[in-house]
Amino acid sequence: MMMIKPNYKKAEILARKFLKDSKVKGFPLDLDFFRKVYNKTHNTRLRIKSFSWYMKKYNLSYSGMIEFINSEDGCCFYSKEEEKAIIIYNDFLNNAGRIRWTIAHEFGHLILGHINNDRAIITRNKLSEKEYSAYELEANTFARELLAPMSLVYYIYDCLGDKISIDSIFGISHEAAQNILNRMLEWSKTHDYSKDTCLYVQFSKFIHSKYCSSCNHFFLSRNKQDKYCKFCGNELEFKYKGDINNMKYTDYDTNENNQVSRCLTCDNEDIDFDNEAYAFCHICGSPVINKCLNEDECGVNVPANARFCPYCGVKTLFFERGILSDWKDEQNEINDNSRNSFNLNTDDPIPF
């Protein structure tokens, strides 16, 4: 029999294509959603079922189930006559990441054409050892690139470094996450992860999502130096929330010199915008340029509505001087205004 070598490139390309076609924006993936996408784009109807479901349906014991499919993790059956496929996974395993990997792996067998008109299931006793090994390696590559694409791991690592938790971000096992991270670090020395050649555009919001657990809000930031919440000073962490809504705190216009368009204390608009040294209002003496108060180690100019420096977490000049109120006070005011903005007139019909 002709020797079969695993086609890793094909597996990577097909996984990325499926991600693009699905138009998802973040991770961990909803694998049942992918099943629905597959059913819409293929002639084969796919179902995903658990060991316990299959055992109950066909009156099998746990050991009988493993013997029947020749695997402790799962398998994929294909019926040419009915044009149906079913992925079965072991729901008795106490490892959600491993289960997700099994489903993606079996899904890879289906997408890669390993299971077809001539082959209804992938098992060792149906194939040569080399053929079986090649198919398994391809399916693993597909699962890796589907569940945690190498390019996205690269960009998130580039933003957050070794603080990231690949397993929780992508919903995979710790072992798989560590293998992917190690492979990414090795491959990044020779592989091209340019934005034009990977999934960066599709997952841009996901890559640059940051979260403040103190004031419970999400941010989008492409600046790797943004490490602290500019409103409450808490250290930011990676977390994704679909279509991210930035915090709705009052923002203030500034020019290229970082001067506000008017004094935030006395409302003076007669500011010498042509002079970058003009840093204090000549009417009331309030600062018109907000900056970090950590003069020795940071001291940079920051956004006008920043209470804390997003780069080092130290208080800002505007907050220290009382020009900006505490973030909690403004948030409460915003919430109060939002509640009062809809006053239903009792004479008007109820808007159902």
pLDDT tens digit sequence for 145-155: 999 998 888 88
Please give the pLDDT value at position 269.
92
- And the tokens for 117? 């008109």
Banded pLDDT at 349 (limits 50, 70, 90) = very low
pLDDT tens digit sequence for 90-138: 999 989 999 999 999 999 999 998 876 555 555 545 667 788 888 899 9
pLDDT at 313 over 90: yes
- Judge whether 273 and 259 are in contact, CB under 8 Å: yes
DSSP, res 224: T
DSSP, res 350: P
pTM equals 0.73
Parts of the chain belonging to CATH 1.10.10.2910: 8-147
Longest dimension (CA), the chain: 90
- Judge whether 265 and 281 are in contact, CB under 8 Å: yes
Which residues are 79's β-sheet partners?
Answer: 84
Which CATH number is associated with domain 8-147? 1.10.10.2910
Q: Give the residue from 234, 255, 323 showing the smallest Cα distance to 226.
A: 234
Q: What whole-number distance in Å separates Cα of residue 73 and Cα of residue 89?
A: 6
Among the residue ranges 123-137, 217-231, 274-288, 336-350, the one predicted with the least confidence is 336-350
Q: Which whole number is the average pLDDT over 248-257? A: 85
Among the residue ranges 10-24, 152-166, 242-256, 277-291, the one predicted with the least confidence is 242-256
- And the tokens for 11? 């597996």
Please give the pLDDT value at position 336.
63
Please give the pLDDT value at position 342.
43
Banded pLDDT at 246 (limits 50, 70, 90) = low
Torsion (CA) 175, 177, 179, 183 in degrees, nearest 10: 180
Neighbours of 228 (CB within 10 A): 21
Helices (H), the chain: 8-22, 31-41, 51-58, 62-69, 96-111, 129-147, 150-160, 166-170, 174-187, 204-207, 317-320, 327-340
**3-class DSSP state for residue 218?**
strand
Q: What whole-number distance in Å separates Cα of residue 138 and Cα of residue 264?
A: 61
